Amino acid sequence: MSPASAARTEPRDYYEILGVEPSASTDQLRAAFREAVLRHHPDRAPSSEIATRRTSFLNRAWAELRDPVRRLHYDHALESGNEAVLDWPLDADETTRPDRRRARRRVDGGVASPWHQPQWRSVAGFRVPAAVFLAGPAAQERWIVEHYIEGEDWRDHAERYWLRFAVRHYAERGRTDDWLGAIERMVELDPPLAEIVDLGVREAYVGLGEELRGAMVVAGIAERHGPGTPQRRWAERELRVLLGEYRDRHVRRGPAAARAENAELLLNFLESLELEPSFTDYRAAIVAHRRAKHSGRAAELVERVMAAPVVEPGRWFSLVQLLTESGQLDRASGLLAEIARGDHPEALDRRRVTAPLRRISAARTRLERARRRGTREPAAVGA
């Protein structure tokens, strides 16, 4: 029979293996583990096989008890008598110890519990007293705000858990500058995309009318990821939505001069990001410039749109409408005639374009209305 198989053992729980009481603090556990590892090192033990097994058990006990959640589960099992035990190997001349089953006492009448009673709990990354933790979410949030948020400046923090909480705190209290600043500080730290999504970046900038500022932030996120990656696609979608919100709020609405100015700002911004303006962007800009009486700039943008290749069959009808709105009625009529003749057969393909004949009829109606308006306007000026 080998020495290992003949070695005597006795069952010990994890606390007994480390040589501490269940009420030991984390620092006490750590110190006990280090001391036990040195004491049972193979170089110091009579039997290297026993020392190796003991070291393995020490590591296992420490791995379980060093984690607060796993330790809590182990303590519950220990109190109910269902704890995991290990067969601790004994030296040949070592005697077994008496059963050390601990009494299950409650914390009442001022009697201290022998079990580990952590005084702190973790809430959203913050340490809060156990009593506050048990009081519920509202009490937890008040305590965190009072002890960790109030009087603090987000510029001094690089902890993502702190910034996540601060973003929500500032938003709920309408602290606009701090809200956006904390968001941008968080984005600078390059967290996982899920954390950025949870911040509600687009909603924050749209809600505060800071769409272009938000677009710059999202463009920076996109640059960190390679083309075709999920993170890049998400950022590009968010970027287009932010710019679309800016277009709808500032280019399609407001005083004529401001609309034209904002239209140019949007086109320049897209150019700086190396993004091609969409047809909707061009159309809004053309309408804005026409209302501001910038006919030359409007005509220039029309030519830019007309020179672009048509990749969508339905776009032919959109071009007719754009020329009509731009006052180029003869050109619009000519393009509509080309479509009706079949010069652009894809525009009449019912599988690719919904109700093409109805679209032709609607385009003719708009053209007639535009011509009638054009004949009335000179008379009104002469009057």
Percentage of residues in the chain having pLDDT higher than 90: 65
Quote the Cα angle for 224-227-228, to 5°.
Answer: 120
Nearest residue to 126 (alpha-carbon basis) of 112, 109, 115, 139: 139
**In contact, 316 and 343? CB cutoff 8 Å:** no
Q: Is the pLDDT of residue 6 over 70?
A: no
Per cent of the chain over pLDDT 70 is 88
C-beta separation of 19 from 36 below 8 A: yes
Question: Quick one: DSSP state of residue 277?
Answer: P
Average pLDDT over residues 189-197: 92
**pLDDT on residue 111:** 46
Res 41: pLDDT: 73
Distance CA 320, CA 270 (A): 25
Residues 6+ apart with CB under 8 A from 232: 222, 225, 226
Long-range contacts of 113-121 (CB under 8 A, 24+ apart): 113/23, 114/21, 114/22, 114/23, 115/22, 115/23, 115/75, 115/78, 115/79, 116/22, 116/23, 116/24, 116/71, 116/72, 116/75, 117/23, 118/68, 118/72
Report the alpha-carbon distance of residue 106 to residue 197 in Å, rounded: 45
Distances (CA, A) of 261 to 200, 208, 358: 29, 20, 36
pLDDT over 60 (residue 260): yes
- Residues 309-344 have pLDDT tens digits of 998 999 999 999 999 988 899 999 999 999 999 999
> Which pLDDT score is estimated for 207?
92
Place of tokens 């009104």: 380
- Residue by residue, DSSP assigns 57-113 as HHHHHHHHHSSHHHHHHHHHHHHHT---EEEEE--TTPPPPPP-PPP---S-TTPPP
User: Average pLDDT for residues 9-22, to the nearest whole number?
Assistant: 90
Q: Which residue has the higher pLDDT, 119 or 170?
A: 170
Which of 108-112, 178-182, 367-371 is predicted with the least confidence, judged by mean pLDDT?
108-112
* For residue 2, pLDDT beyond 60: no
Backbone angles phi and psi of 167, in degrees to 5: -60, -50
Residue of 122 and 165 predicted with greater confidence: 165
* Pairwise CA distance, residues 182 & 175, whole Å: 11
- pLDDT tier for residue 379 given thresholds of 50, 70 and 90: very low
The mean of the pLDDT values for the chain is 87
Around Cβ 171, how many Cβ atoms within 10 Å? 21
| 7-16, 133-142, 167-176, 260-269: the lowest-pLDDT one | 7-16
139-152, pLDDT tens digit by residue?
999 999 999 999 99
60 closest CA partner among 41, 82, 90, 86: 86
In 3D, which of 218, 193, 188, 192 has the Cα closest to residue 203? 218
**What tens digit of pLDDT does each residue of 263-321 get?**
999 999 999 998 999 999 999 999 999 999 999 999 999 999 999 999 899 999 999 99
Rounded Cα distance between 37 and 56, Å, is 10
Q: Which residues is 123 bridged to in the sheet?
A: 126
Residue-wise burial string across 245-282, b where 16 or more C-beta atoms lie within 10 A, e elsewhere:
bbbeebbbeeeeeebbbbbeebbebbeeeebebeeebb
**pLDDT beyond 70 at 116:** no
Does the structure show a pLDDT above 60 at 251? yes
Does the pLDDT at position 43 exceed 70? Answer: no
How far is 144 from 138, CA to CA, in rounded Å? 10
Please state, in angstroms and rounded to a whole number, the distance separating the CA atoms of residues 352 and 68: 61
What is the rounded distance in angstroms from the CA atom of residue 49 to the CA atom of residue 42? 8
- Per-residue pLDDT at 113 exceeds 60: no
Better-scored residue on pLDDT, 50 or 349: 349
The more confident residue out of 99 and 177 is 177
Q: Where does the pLDDT of residue 23 fall: very low under 50, low under 70, confident under 90, or very high at 90 and above?
A: confident
Query: What is the predicted pLDDT for the residue at 334?
Result: 95
Q: 3-state SS string over 284-313?
A: HHHHHHHHCCCHHHHHHHHHHHHHCCCCCC
Q: Residue 112: pLDDT above 70? A: no
pLDDT surpassing 80 at residue 45: no
Residue with tokens 């909480």: 165
For residue 197, pLDDT over 90 is answered with yes
- Residue written as tokens 């913050």? 126
Distance CA 191, CA 182 (A): 13
